[in-house]
Amino acid sequence: MKALTINQPWAEMICRGLKRVENRTWPTNYRGPLAIHVGKSLAWLKAQDDCTWPAQYGVELPQAAEMAFGAIVAVVELVDCVPIDRLPLELQTAWAEGPWCWVLKDARRLEKPIICKGSLQLWKPPDQITPKLLAASGLEGPTN
């Protein structure tokens, strides 16, 4: 299994199955289970007012203080990676900006976030948390 660190509130929207495209500047050939990790820094949130998120994003979201940070919060299936101009029509939303669109499905929120350090790019969760992550996400057996 691989992991990807994503900022809030985007990670929360992925957990809810609302955001099915993750925008990246680089493509990936990886397909399969993807742990969604939220970075621990709140620095970028200081420029935003979380009270405006419902109007801004069109969905009700918890306040920043109620969201997880510095933890794996969900597992999704990464099913495709396409340039923005090849994104299927049903996935073209205001949140799909590209240039590379990672297509996600079957978001499974973990009942309890798993605290761990994240990393840039795709990364492998630490071996000591992998069994806990697999059990929490409902996946069986080892994954790459």
Q: What is the pLDDT along the chain (144 residues), one digit of tens a residue?
A: 999 999 888 899 999 999 999 999 999 999 999 999 999 877 767 777 777 777 777 777 777 778 899 999 999 999 999 999 999 999 998 889 999 999 999 999 999 999 999 999 999 999 999 888 888 777 765 555
Amino acid identity for residue 61 in this structure: L
Q: What is the number of other CB atoms lying within 10 angstroms of the CB of residue 4?
A: 25
Nearest-angstrom CA–CA distance, 101 and 127: 28
pTM of the model: 0.89
Alpha carbon separation from 21 to 7, 11, 92 (Å, rounded) = 14, 11, 9
| Three-class SS state of 49 | coil
The answer to whether the bond into 9 is cis (omega within 30° of 0) is: yes
The identity of residue 18, as a single letter, is L
3-state SS, residue 84:
helix
